[in-house]
Amino acid sequence: MISVITPAHNEELFIKKCIFSVKAAAKVVPEEVEHIVVLNRCSDRTGEIADQFGVKVITDDSRNLSHIRNNGAKESKGDILVTIDADSQMTSTMLVEVLRKLDSGKYIGGGVKIVPERISPGILCSLLVVAPFVLWHGVSAGMFWCLRKDYEAIGGFDEKLACVEDIDFGKRLKRYGKDRGKRYYTIRKARIITSCRKFDQFGDWYFIKNPMVVYRVFKRDQKQADRFYYDARPEIIEQDTSVDD
């Protein structure tokens, strides 16, 4: 069985497309696929929509994405784990590619190619700013996939990290695979399409004009992560990042 885990904080505008993309991908693989949506401090219709389309729904009110994803993994039954965010959609051959790579025995797991739902000069420049950081660590992210036994062997996502926990997970999975003669792989024949909601909210040039926001998030500061992911209002974030601690 394949278990797809999706953390969801007020995702009523996106969750339906995410669920439908997983259902489409599940139709072309022989294995059973379960989809678990982990509701996190939702005050909108995310849970109602997820229930409507028959996915398994659990609740986790922690302010920690690692804990939320790990909780979803604990509630899942599959021997293959896939994580995808609620504002992303996987293309229809994604799970086929996951099975193909894992069945080959050559790969420990990995990430995927990420495509934004729209592009602009501001978004492109923002991506170019973040890209060196990701390339430096040598792992892809966006959607992770691996065997449950390997996920458990590395301890899942690190719950001590307030943010950038995805890059940390990828690095640890890559090291674990290398010790066992397996490669960390980026799926490119399939991809995920992710929303540009932060750009829609803040403006396409916001992160170029406010580099301290990016710095504080990557600094793994819990307070800053809370403000960025939960409060998510430009005036609050700017006020808090204007003075260095």
Helices 121-137 & 165-179, crossing angle to 10 degrees? 40
Which tokens belong to 168? 């940390």
Across the range 94-122, mean pLDDT stands at 97
Looking at residue 182, what is its pLDDT?
Answer: 98
Provide the whole-model pTM.
Answer: 0.88
CA angle 148, 41, 156 (to 5 degrees): 20
Q: What is the pLDDT of residues 141-190, one digit of tens each?
A: 889 999 999 999 999 999 998 778 999 999 999 999 999 999 999 999 99
With a cut of 50, say whether residue 244 has pLDDT above it. no
* C-alpha distances in Å from residue 124, one per residue of 56, 167, 217, 233: 36, 20, 19, 22
Q: What is the pLDDT of residues 43-85, one digit of tens each?
A: 999 999 999 999 999 999 998 999 999 999 999 999 999 999 9
Give dist(CA 36, CA 47) in Å, integer: 11
Bridge partners of 6, per DSSP, are 37
Q: What is the pLDDT of residues 187-228, one digit of tens each?
A: 999 999 999 998 898 899 988 887 776 666 655 555 655 665
Domains of the chain, each with CATH number or no CATH: 2-120+139-199 (3.90.550.10)
